[in-house]
Chain A
Amino acid sequence: MSSFLDFLQRPADLTPRRSFLTSSGLMLSGTAVALLAGNDALAADPKAAKAAPKSGNPDNDVQILNTALGAELEAIAAYQLGAESKLLEKPVLALAVTFQGHHKEHVKVLSDTITKLGGKPVAAKAKYDFPVDKLKAQADVLRFAASLEQGAVSAYLGAVPLFTNRDLAKAAASILGDEAMHWAVLRQALGEEPVPAAFMS
Chain B
Amino acid sequence: MNWVVLLVLVGSGGRIKGDPTKGEAIYARCQACHALDYDRTGPHHCGVVGRKAGTVKDFQYSEAMKKSGLTWNVKTLDRFLSAPTEVVPGTAMTYAGVPDPQERADLIAWLAQQKCKEPK
Contact = CB atoms under 8 A, between A and B. Distances in A.
Nearest to A64: B94
Contacts of B92: 63, 66-67
Contacts of B97: 158
Given A74-B41, A129-B38, A151 B29 contact: yes
Interface string A24-48: 0000000000000000000000000
Nearest to A59: B90
A150 interface: yes
A162 B31 contact: no
B85 interface: yes
A147 interface: yes
Contact of A162 (B39, B85, B90): B85
Interface in A62-96: 63-64, 66-68, 70-71, 74
A66 B100 CA distance: 27
B93 A9 contact: no
Interface in A163-200: none
Interface in B13-68: 28-33, 35, 38-41, 62
Contacts of A131: 35, 38
Contact size class for A?
20 to 34
A161 interface: yes
Nearest to A70: B41
Given A67-B33, A67-B94, A154 B28 contact: yes
A161 B33 contact: no
A182 to B, nearest CB: 12
A153 B119 CA distance: 26
Contacts of B85: 60, 162
A10 B100 CA distance: 10
B96 interface: yes
Interface of A: 2, 5-6, 9-10, 60, 63-64, 66-68, 70-71, 74, 128-131, 147-148, 150-155, 157-162, 201
Interface of B: 8, 28-33, 35, 38-41, 62, 85, 90, 92-97, 99-100, 119
